[in-house]
Structure 1
């Protein structure tokens, strides 16, 4: 009899623990969804004076994991303020995430690379987006660099500004290597300092100096590394739903919210390690050229760049 009472008591205790855990899970999910919606509404207030609708083109994207088992996300930067319905991609990056290894890598593709675009002939690679959206860009990268892309994300630069301001109320600490003022909205002075969203946008877009677009790509990678490093850690995880909500109205992507949370949670984990970066073309893997109808281009050694690129992905 005593045994039956103890068994019943134990069963009730187990049920109570499970109920508490269930309530905690529900509360956490509810809070996360609330924060996510708060972030969306906050951005919508800035975009459409409170409208709950965002005009977003739906793209076909036939992506998959690559041959190394990694998830690759095609990141395309665009500027809605340019007023062009079909614009070239201003920024082209591939974020590589290998879940088995727990590693993140980032590849920047120079936008002036002169390359074969499927069905279109040879042009600057950034025109693939204008000619056929992210799907044609995916096909172009696959054909030339033999890597599959599973997801895409087209990011309006204003979304970058809002994300920085929300995540870093005191700004992102970064070293500005020189005075920057030509063709950017907010001029920057040199030195180690904290930059807000508009200042960070100037930092990653400036390219009117002796090294031009090469310097801009280097600063883009520097900025993303600084943001990732300064956001990493367990204290960031509770902020993720709102941060994703803030940026969602500015991003056109085939990733669902669950995918974004999963990748972001691992990226901002304190155990993530360093984010390695790569650039196409590599040093000494291209020559400057001038093509009629295209202007100044980068004529790359495709075999040399591919070999270095795949070594980077697998090391």
Structure 2
């Protein structure tokens, strides 16, 4: 029995227990009512009382079943608002674009096998400005739900990592998305970084802005250089929003998006270039996570109803609901962050693909698997060459290319 079958089994048992408890409560209340009636209305027929008791109990049980059905239908309604796509849909688009990819050549290396207690979901932030068919994967992350360690982990993958793209050729990591969409990007990460990924979720720039605005903005701390840079460039696309200041403030969707795209100014942790940019992305996603935690259930339902149409995924409705239930069951209020490649595990190089990062895959993949599937050893988190970095930017990661 898989973990998700176990979750469903536990849910069924919980509903049965609730139903049994409700039945006992109804019976007790009815017994009390009947005892009172017997003292004041001794002329009532006992059979009539028994029939009335069964009728009331049956009515309440029917209402209870109806409530369960309403919850199930509501969940189904929400899931139907998400955009679903299959691998065959994406492959058809690739064939139409005339890109030659051997989709069967996808198992060149072994990957970590599927683990019922660990779920890895690829998060794709798509930059779709000049290309109306498929844009670039501006943000590449993996969200991990680990039921054994009770952790939620967000891992950034540097888009300039030089990788073997299955069935295609060597190139930058984000090239795999441009030529083969979510399925090929997922497969490329699996093959090069040796982790199993259960599916992907994709949002574009418009969706990102909407998500932040629906939450009422996010709290972000800007340096003086970041604020001045954002106010004088078009990273914040709406000129009316180019009024950010140094320090902690609430950024709206347009401002937060601009912040996550900045590369030419040092980040709050001193990093530069794409390293600073990916750290900003993790900072914003962590701020979104914090904002969600502050919302009430009713408000979250309304927000979810508005946001789901902006999401595209290849994960089934059943699996999505299972993953959400698992996240809730963890009870964690913290989001851990990680970055690939880590400090001192790459070097910069220029080749036919442009400026790339040549990754020390044996070292990186071992640390990545320890982080996602287990516990990172003390030696990888306490020295000056720390593999992990936090959403607040306190890391040992070097900037630029070594």
Larger radius of gyration: 2
Structure 2 residue corresponding to 1:208, chosen from 252, 261, 264: 264
Offset, 1:280: 0.3
TM normalised by structure 1 equals 0.80
CA distance in 2, matches of 1:273, 1:229: 8
Contact 1:116–1:140 (CA<8 Å) still a contact in 2?
Answer: yes
2:143 maps to 1:118: no
Distance 1:109 1:161, change over 3 A: same
**What is the match of residue 59 of structure 1?**
90
Give unmatched runs, 5+ long, in structure 2.
1-43, 92-102, 107-111, 267-271, 376-402
Higher relative contact order (CA 8 A, sep 6+): 1
2:218 maps to 1:172: yes
Contact 2:140–2:157 (CA<8 Å) still a contact in 1?
Answer: yes
CA distance in 2, matches of 1:97, 1:6: 53
CA distance in 2, matches of 1:158, 1:267: 26
CA displacement, residues 32-62 of structure 1 (integer Å, 9 cap, x when unaligned): 777889x89xxxxxxxxxxxx9999933699
Offset, 1:158: 0.6
Structure 2 residue corresponding to 1:303, chosen from 347, 359, 362: 362
CA distance in 1, matches of 2:55, 2:151: 43
CA distance in 2, matches of 1:268, 1:232: 11
**What is the match of residue 398 of structure 2?**
none
Contact 1:115–1:123 (CA<8 Å) still a contact in 2?
Answer: yes
2:61 maps to 1:15: no
Contact 2:79–2:317 (CA<8 Å) still a contact in 1?
Answer: no
TM normalised by structure 2 equals 0.64
Contact 2:186–2:199 (CA<8 Å) still a contact in 1?
Answer: no
CA displacement, residues 180-226 of structure 1 (integer Å, 9 cap, x when unaligned): 32440254322101111111111211112240111111111111111
**What is the match of residue 136 of structure 1?**
184
Offset, 1:165: 1.2
CA distance in 1, matches of 2:60, 2:348: 67
CA distance in 1, matches of 2:53, 2:188: 62
Contact 1:287–1:299 (CA<8 Å) still a contact in 2?
Answer: yes
Contact 1:78–1:155 (CA<8 Å) still a contact in 2?
Answer: yes
- Three-state SS of the structure 2 residue aligned to 1:59 is helix
Give unmatched runs, 5+ long, in structure 1.
41-52
Contact 1:88–1:128 (CA<8 Å) still a contact in 2?
Answer: no
CA displacement, residues 92-118 of structure 1 (integer Å, 9 cap, x when unaligned): 111112356553211110000111111
Contact 1:66–1:72 (CA<8 Å) still a contact in 2?
Answer: no
- Give the alignment's Cα RMSD to 1 decimal: 3.5
- Three-state SS of the structure 1 residue aligned to 2:177 is helix
Contact 2:85–2:314 (CA<8 Å) still a contact in 1?
Answer: no
**What is the match of residue 275 of structure 1?**
335
More off after superposition, 128-137 vs 7-16:
7-16
Distance 1:162 1:266, change over 3 A: farther
CA distance in 2, matches of 1:249, 1:149: 23
More off after superposition, 299-308 vs 26-35:
26-35
Offset, 1:258: 5.3
Offset, 1:229: 1.6
Contact 2:78–2:308 (CA<8 Å) still a contact in 1?
Answer: no
